[in-house]
Amino acid sequence: MNLWRDERDHSVDTTAGHSPPGHSGVLFVVSNSTPEQGADRPADDSDLSADETDPPADGTDRSVYSRLVTGTEHAIFVTDSDGVITFWSPPAEALYGHTSAEIRGEPLTALFADDSHDERGLDSLLSEATETAVETERRHRRADGSEFWASTTLSPLWNDHLHGYAVVSENTTAAHRREQRLERQNDRIKEFVDTLVHDLRNPLNVIVGRIELARETGDAEHFDAAEDSAARMSSLVDDLLEVVRHGELVTEPELTDLRTVVERAWEATGASSESATVHYGDLGAVAVDPDRTCEVFENLFRNAVEHGGEDVTVTVGELHDGFYVADDGPGIPAEQREAVFDHGVTTAEGGNGYGLSVVRTIANAHGWDVRVTASETGGARFEFSGVERRRVTAASPE
C-alpha cells in the first residue's frame, strides 16, 4: 500500500492485488481518504465466505483483496472467457439478490432482464471487451424478479492469454428516470411552443384584419373586436405559461397522505355541486409535491362534474404502483383517449382544453405515467403509475 499527499493536503490510498483466486491479472483500487471524511476505515472480512477471502497464493495481504470486493457500493464479479460467472462478491449479492452458490456457473446474460441479448449477443459483447473495457447499460433482473437499470463495465483479465472478465455493475435506475423525465419535459416544451404558435395565429389574424377595416371604414367597432382578440391572446398565453410552470421537475417531493390531498381538492372543486359525491378509502402516503398533486385532483374532479353532471360519483382508489380517479359519467371514446391530454383539446362548450394537459404535465413532472380508460360504470378512469407509495396506518375516514 502506498500513501502520498499533494500540496492541497489531499490523501489518496492506492492498493494493488491479484484478481480473485483462480484468475490471473492485477487489480488496482484507488480511494479518497481525505481527513475530513474520517479516519481510515479498517477492512472488514466478516461478511465474506472462506473461499472468497482466501488471499492469493503469493501471500498478498488478505485485507487488500477484502477492500477490493467489499469497500464499494458497486457489484464486482468475474466471469471466465465464455462469460460464465466464476466469482461473486457480497456487493453483487446485495444488488442482485443471488447468493454465490446460486449464480456461479450461470452466464452473464442471466442477469439481463430483456430477451434480446441471447448467446450470440453475449459473444459479441465479450469479443468487444477482449482488448479494452466496454460499458453497456440495460435493464437487469434481481433474484426476486424485480428489474432495474444498470451500467455494466467489462474489463478483460490478461496474463499470457485471456482468462476472463472483471465486471462492475452500478444501479443507474434513478439517473435513468431523471433522464426520462427531462425528455418528457423537453417534449412538453416543444408541444407548448407548437400550440402557442397555432392558438395565437387566429386571434392575431383577427386583430390585423380588424385594424385594416378600421382604417378603411373609420368604424370604431372594429377596434372593439380587435381588443377582444387581444384579450383572448393574453388569456391563451397565461394558460400555456401555467402548463409550463406545472412541468417543472419535482426534485424535493414530500411524503404526503393522499387522502388529505383528495379532501382538499374535493372541497375546492367537487363540493361546489351539492349532488356530486366522492368515495375513497385508505390511499396510503405518496412522495409528491402536495400543491401540484392537489391541482391534478382538482382538474379531474372539475372534469368529472362538467362532463358527468351535477350528480356524478367519483371514486379514488389504489393501484399496485399508483392510484386512479374514476367517475360514472359518459366516459371518453377509445379513439379520443390519447388526444385528451393534448394542449387545447376539449369537448366541453367554453372549455379551454388545458385541464387534462395540466394533469399529464404534473404527472410527468413527478416521473409518473398517466392513461385514461373506461371505468366499471362506463365513465372515465384516469390511472397513474410509477408512483412512490407507502402505507399510512391512521384510520380511514368514515
For 200-204, 262-266, 348-352, which range has the lowest pLDDT when averaged over its residues?
A: 348-352
- Is the Cβ–Cβ distance between 373 and 383 less than 8 Å? yes
- Is the Cβ–Cβ distance between 66 and 44 less than 8 Å? yes
Would the pLDDT of 358 be above 80? yes
Question: Which fold is adopted by the domain 250-398?
Answer: Heat Shock Protein 90 (3.30.565)
CB half-sphere exposure, 354, CA atoms < 13 A: 21
Q: Which CATH architecture has domain 177-248?
A: Orthogonal Bundle (1.10)
| CA separation for the pair 20, 69 (Å, rounded) | 9
Higher per-residue pLDDT: 47 or 98? 98
Would the pLDDT of 80 be above 80? yes
Q: Which CATH architecture has domain 2-171?
A: 2-Layer Sandwich (3.30)
Q: CB neighbours of 39 closer than 8 A, spacing ≥ 6?
A: none
Higher per-residue pLDDT: 38 or 342? 342
Higher per-residue pLDDT: 59 or 343? 343
Angle value at C-alpha 340, between 339 and 346, nearest 5 degrees? 115
pLDDT at 347: 54
Domain ranges of the chain: 2-171, 177-248, 250-398
Would the pLDDT of 47 be above 80? no
Q: Which three cell numbers mark 135? A: 460499458
Task: State the average pLDDT over residues 47-68.
Answer: 45
Higher per-residue pLDDT: 119 or 310? 310
129 confidence band (pLDDT: 50, 70, 90): confident
Residues comprising the chain, all counted:
398
Q: CB neighbours of 74 closer than 8 A, spacing ≥ 6?
A: 91, 168, 169, 170
- Is the Cβ–Cβ distance between 314 and 278 less than 8 Å? yes
Would the pLDDT of 266 be above 90? yes
pLDDT at 341: 84
